[in-house]
Amino acid sequence: MLAAFYERPGPAREVLQLGELPDPQPRPAEVRVRMRWSGVNPSDVKSRAGSRGPTLPFPRIVPHSDGMGEIDAVGAGVPTGRIGERVWLWNAAWGRADGTAAQFTCLPATQALRLPDGVPDEAGACFGIPALTALHAVLTDGGVAGQRVLVAAGAGAVGHYAVQFARLLGARQVLATASTPAKQALARDAGADVVVDYRQPGAADQLREATQGQGVDRIVEMDIAANAALDLAVMRPGATWAVYGSGAREFQLPFFPLIAQEALLRFFIVYHLRPADRARAEGLLHDFLMRGVLRHNIAQRVPLRDIVRAHELVESGQAGGNVVVQVD
Ligand SMILES: NC(=O)c1ccc[n+]([C@@H]2O[C@H](COP(=O)([O-])OP(=O)(O)OC[C@H]3O[C@@H](n4cnc5c(N)ncnc54)[C@H](OP(=O)(O)O)[C@@H]3O)[C@@H](O)[C@H]2O)c1
């Protein structure tokens, strides 16, 4: 099969290769998926770049945890009726050598979920990380019904879904940050009531004013290191700070405002969702997909042969949404 892979960490154009690898065969309890689309996330790019350490956990890694395709073979114990099913995948490259940037991947049958009819193929490559991260950020710690919610990066791969999920799950007001007018429009189209450019000096004041001075009940944060001061200025007492990213490895937080606000600081990583949380998020996602109420912000579709460009786009932070690689 044709696959993208790397055998040492480093810059995309130095280490990513395209070549033939043996077709994988499903083991017991696994399915084999003929990939159509492979989703590229910042996490895949950081792993390839070596930010998780100078050595790889496997001699060769086919990158990307997210993807969409069709089951074409099953291992022992998996019903043959699943052959032909359109599926979306999660955690394909988390703790595993064989991700989705290849013509085939084998993985546990439980990590290949039926894609509801009518959902575009390439959207299925955006669920495992972006959509489930966004859903968990709004579901955790009691959910967002009746809340004022601030979503950082309302046009980002995760943020764009988070705005929609907050809206769909009953938030009273959804606020978002985004830099350019085009990104602000994306966040507004996703359902944000108020969108503010986080780079402007008066951003915190604008956000607070938009809440009539009340502050927000929940912040869905993609870069706590960069946005801590803004977040602290706009949260109301008892707010939940749902943090899924940081632009810096280390950062400082001031003790007094946090204790005075009695803030709940919730860090999480989507790869480690507990089974009950994952099941709840997947159930809701499928419900929204079947109702056809979600927009998918696919910014770039890149052929597998241009895998380096796909990684560099994600690395730049300027893709303006999800980057998906066409495999078939
Ligand atoms: N914990 C987890 O499980 C998990 C899951 C998914 C992602 N992540 C992490 O979350 C981060 C975002 O992921 P993503 O896939 O959504 O990335 P993305 O699609 O590249 O989105 C990043 C967006 O953030 C905006 N941005 C940059 N700095 C910002 C700031 N200080 N405040 C507000 N917006 C800012 C960028 O646009 P502008 O600056 O032009 O507005 C861009 O639109 C990454 O670090 C990723 O590794 C973690």
Residue nearest to atom 23 of ligand 1 (CA): 156
Domain at 167, CATH number: 3.90.180.10
* 19 and 117, same domain (yes or no): yes
Query: Does residue 227 sit in the same domain as residue 152?
Result: yes
Phi, psi angle pair for 3, to nearest 5°: -145, 155
Point out the ligand 1 atom lying closest to the alpha carbon of residue 42: 47
Same domain, residue pair 188 and 252: yes
Which pLDDT tens digits describe the chain residue by residue (328 residues)?
999 999 999 999 999 999 999 999 999 999 999 999 999 999 999 999 998 788 999 999 999 999 999 999 999 999 999 999 999 999 999 999 999 999 999 999 999 999 999 999 999 999 999 999 999 999 999 999 999 999 999 999 999 999 999 999 999 999 999 999 999 999 999 999 999 999 999 999 999 999 999 999 999 999 999 999 999 999 999 999 999 999 999 999 999 999 999 999 999 999 999 999 999 999 999 999 999 999 999 999 999 999 999 999 999 988 889 999 999 8
Going by alpha carbons, the residue nearest to atom 34 of ligand 1 is 153
Instruction: Work out which ligand 1 atom sits closest to the CA atom of 271.
Output: 3
Using the mean position of ligand 1's atoms as its centre, give its distance from the Cα of residue 118 in Å.
28
Q: Are residues 18 and 95 in the same domain?
A: yes
CA of 288 to the centre of ligand 1 (A): 23
Are 261 and 238 in contact by the 8 Å Cβ rule? The answer is yes
At 322 the pLDDT is 97
Amino acid 328: pLDDT: 86
Verify that 145 and 226 share a domain, yes or no: yes
| Cα–ligand 1 centroid distance for 154 (angstroms) | 9
Classify residue 63: in a domain, yes or no.
yes
Do residue 160 and residue 124 come from a single domain?
no
Residue nearest to atom 8 of ligand 1 (CA): 245
- Ligand 1 neighbours (beta carbon < 6 A): 41-43, 129-130, 133, 152-153, 155-159, 177-180, 183, 198, 222-223, 226-227, 244-245, 268-270, 317, 319
Give the domain range for residue 181.
141-267
- Do residue 145 and residue 124 come from a single domain? no
Q: Is residue 136 part of a domain?
A: no
pLDDT at 246: 97
* Rounded distance from Cα 128 to ligand 1 centre (Å): 16
* 6 within domain boundaries: yes
> How high is the pLDDT of residue 320?
87
Please tell me the pTM assigned to this model.
0.98
- The residue from 220, 250, 267 where one domain ends is 267
Q: Which of 45, 222, 300, 315 to mutate to test the pocket of ligand 1 (most atoms within 8 A of CB)?
A: 222
* 272: in domain: no
Q: How many domains does the chain have?
A: 2
3-state secondary structure of 227: helix
Same-domain pairing of 97 and 161: no
157 and 99 together in one domain: no
287 assigned to some structural domain: no
- 284 in a structural domain: no
**Is-contact 153 175, C-beta < 8 A?**
no
Q: Do 303 and 226 share a domain, yes or no?
A: no
Alpha carbons 93 and 166: distance in angstroms, whole number? 28
| 78, 33 contact by CB (below 8 A) | no
Note whether 119 and 199 are same-domain residues.
no
In a domain, 283, yes or no: no
Please indicate, yes or no, whether residues 62 and 110 belong to a single structural domain of this protein.
yes
| 135 occurs within a structural domain | no
Q: Parallel, antiparallel, or unpaired: how do β-strands 322-326 and 298-303 relate?
A: parallel
Number of Cβ atoms within 10 Å of the Cβ of 85: 18
For residue 53, the model assigns a pLDDT of: 81
Task: Pick the last residue of a domain from 217, 252, 267.
Answer: 267
Q: Measured in whole angstroms, how far is the alpha carbon of residue 117 from the centre of its chain? A: 22
